[in-house]
Chain A
């Protein structure tokens, strides 16, 4: 039995390398910053479909030319340090993100901010915060980006007091918190535990759970045993087997949330075999979607064949492909392809390996040999960024709650040359020379102010993508967390944000 006002979560949190919102880009790290900080706008954990809601910003106004966004700050909110939350802090936080130029910086720089101009483009005056954009972006696009956990509002005074050199407090903030969020950081012992303590003076009301303890438990089996023993409230990394085993236990229930992560297959267009359209087409039919979904991916991934995850504006919910070896074979033989060998470098994660082996099995049936090389995440990524992975199997998680987050990487590649070094773009990594009109369509969608039109643009984009792109989305992630029956309102933030804890309660 865990204490009534303590929430104990078992999860794999060994990916956290920094808790600085301007740097943290890992799932577990964002789960922490989500709770330590508030953002200008935020999602309601209890109803994510409402979209972004006022948070530290009470209201906002887009200028008629669509180039200036003015936000008005909420009054009377203080940081956990006791300092007031000012527009100046918000401006500084955003400027800091751009200036530090860590990986998440693109979330803001895509609006034309640069380290040089950001002091002029983002300004604070009294209660108002002004963002000057380089194009008339869709308002929802901008605000969705401001809801990203990286765009947290940070306590400038506290951080600057701990800054070293010109790091803008990055080193200190990596292991400390300075936010106004519902929780403050009590301890982070890497690979071991994150402890959060409720911020009782929280402006949105004191959270019910006074302590949140997230323990690093690697093994699903161990998480399951702990759940059964009542030593934890929530287990976040249960394998389908363990979920099945726990299903009959009345003391335990499961949440089921669609996450934003897409498991996809990238066919490198540098590969002579994979660059042939019939092969691309055939590969779509060589994935045993239903079989995998029913077996080792059960309850964790659902078939989803478009690059926008369900829950995103314009997400396409049609799944045109099914497992059909005969069809694949016909496509290939019609094109005169009866044999071939390709390699895949797969990260040493069970599911990926199983997917790869299943694919290997199916490909073998049409005469294609798939050689699997399993390696560490860093190694795969290295090769992938060097465009050296013929078939890539892996996932992509959206960085913010706007469709652009995936469109801009799956379907956007302005320069397919090696020298361009657009290592951040999935299309580039797969050497997919996105047609110019598709690139233009992606750009156009970001500046479309009419949300309905914008939605349609994304639907069209995905349809076209399904028809011709060599990057094949396969599954969308489902979070199935096991928890004690008395845990209420548990959320992992769905497909749009990280896991918030403030709304969680425990009944009797």
Chain B
């Protein structure tokens, strides 16, 4: 196993100020190795997204230690190198694309910001990579289906040729058939580019499909860590995890 590309120690994230302060994440430790796909599950509000956003620099108030490829992070500022190395895909494909920007513009801006050259050619390639033909290049988001939007979002994340992708429930807003397509795409991309994933989902089956290891979160902390084999077999030391597994397979009483 290579050195961890991402390591998080005693991460605490909060929102607001004392009387209304919400402690969303209370001491999380994580390590993700290069090339690995790591899952984060838990019920709604358990702090999964918040962990990702803190890493990405989208939650200003946090304490603890986050290191990405040896670079120690602080506050909400992130270096250009970080942006090149780490990208994120959001849960809601309807909210993650600017409604007035064409696919072309989204990708072109990203490429410019990442300091790439030869932008036209790269856009075409990116679109091919995520399985959207050139025909989609000049469309606006409202001319795309949810699955197509999520592909654009993935293309945007890939534009800077990152090493680590933070995936925040990338398929939960999609139909099962579309979900399958996106999951396949993610699998292929990881294989082709040697990407590392940190993926959040509340769907154990999805995590099981894509990840090798996972951690279970509850109320802002990690309550369990296991690998996929254990998950499949329902082997877990934690009651909560077993409860989650059971509940995900609804059986009529």
Taking the complex as a whole, does A directly touch B, i.e. does some CB pair lie under 8 Å apart?
no
